[in-house]
Every structure is written in structure tokens, then in C-alpha cells.
Copies of this chain bind each other. A is one copy, B any other.
């Protein structure tokens, strides 16, 4: 299917639900997935599998950020992923410097190269506390930069910007998203650890939404 917009699909819960939402709205995104040196490469397999199931073009692009960034626990070779609640100060070690601008800049370039005008990504309200590149002020500014820097005036759109993760879960349940085809755990194991910040956040979101998570054993 010929794409009509670009979606950054990590293979996580938020971007996968966003994909199903865009499809419901009649869109056909090209999905762009990054192997950026994250420990949890399992999410990449999920992104590929989801795109295959939905017959969408998926591009996996390799940017080994661990070669230049040394301060993030999320990247291969970094310190251990912290355990504990998502909003705690310890979770700050999982920040990859300027990650979303890096990923978005490629997505915007891909849109420009193909004559498309919109890039979607799954930033949501829970991410704001720790990740500055998920805040509305960032999203607005990066969309402005993207529009100014391209002939197509490519816009960056984050439809879940003001949604809680539990609302995304509810929306996913409504859209019949196969949650088992999404991956959240940061630790890089073959099953979710249940202890890292993102495992705990996911568990909490499903609990609040009153939805069963088919993505955990």
C-alpha cells in the first residue's frame, strides 16, 4: 500500500495503538522503526511483525547512538536500567539525549523525500515528567522547525500528547489492538521484567483501564 504519512513505530504500546487509530481513520502510514542502540531490541521485532500483519511498508533504520552517547542506561553498554516507579528521579538515566528530535528528523526527511506532509509519533502525557522531548512545548517547536526546514512544510503530530497511558490502553482495546504484539520492557530480556519503570507504568495503565494485558505472561 502506498503510504500517505509517516509514523514512527517503535513496537511499543503507544505507537502501535496510534497506528491502529490512523488506520481506522483511513490513513495508510509508512512505518519507520529505529534500531538506535536500545537494549530492548525486541520492540523492533514487534514493529516489523505488526507492519507485516497490516501489509504496511516498514523501514528499520540503524543509528547506533551508543557510539556517541555514553550517559543513558537505555543504550547498549550503558549502566543498568533502573527499577522503580516511572516518575522517580532514577528513571532519568533512561533518557537518551535529544532522542525524539533525532528520530523525528529522519521521519520528517522521509516524508519530504516522498512528497508527504505529516509525521506522527506516540508521545503521551505520562512521558512528560521525565522526557522533555515528549512535552507539548517541544512537539510544537519541532513541528515548527520541520515545517520551516522542508519544501512540503511537513508537520509533526502527536495525537496522544494530552492522553494518559490508561486512555491509550482503552483506545487500544476499542480498536482491538493485539497487545501481545507490543513490547515495553526496557531491560532487553526475552520476557518483560515487571520491575523497570516502563513495565510498572504499563501494568498501572492496564489496571486503571480495566483491560487485560495479553502482552505479559
CB–CB A105/B102 < 8 A: yes
- The B-contacting residues of A in range 138-174, CB under 8 angstroms, are 138, 141-142, 144-151, 154
How many of A's residues come within 8 Å of B, CB to CB? 42
A106 at the interface (CB under 8 A from B): yes
Contacts of A67 in B (CB 8 A): 61
State the oligomeric state as a number of copies: 2
The residue that A105 contacts in the complex, of B70, B101, B138, with Cβ under 8 A, is B101
Interface SS of A by simple majority: helix
Partner-binding segment picked from A82-90, A92-100, A188-196, A205-213: A92-100
Contacts of A132 in B (CB 8 A): 148-151
A216 at the interface (CB under 8 A from B): no
The residue that A141 contacts in the complex, of B99, B112, B145, with Cβ under 8 A, is B145
Q: How far, in whole Å, are A147 and B95 apart by their CA atoms in the complex? A: 15
CB–CB B63/A68 < 8 A: no
- The B-contacting residues of A in range 112-149, CB under 8 angstroms, are 112-113, 132-133, 135, 137-138, 141-142, 144-149
Q: A69-B110, A70-B113, A110-B69 are in contact. Are A98 and B63 (CB under 8 A)?
A: no
- List 13 additional contacts besides A68-B113, A98-B150; criterion CB under 8 Å: A68-B106, A68-B110, A69-B113, A71-B113, A95-B151, A96-B109, A101-B108, A101-B145, A102-B105, A132-B150, A141-B141, A141-B144, A141-B145
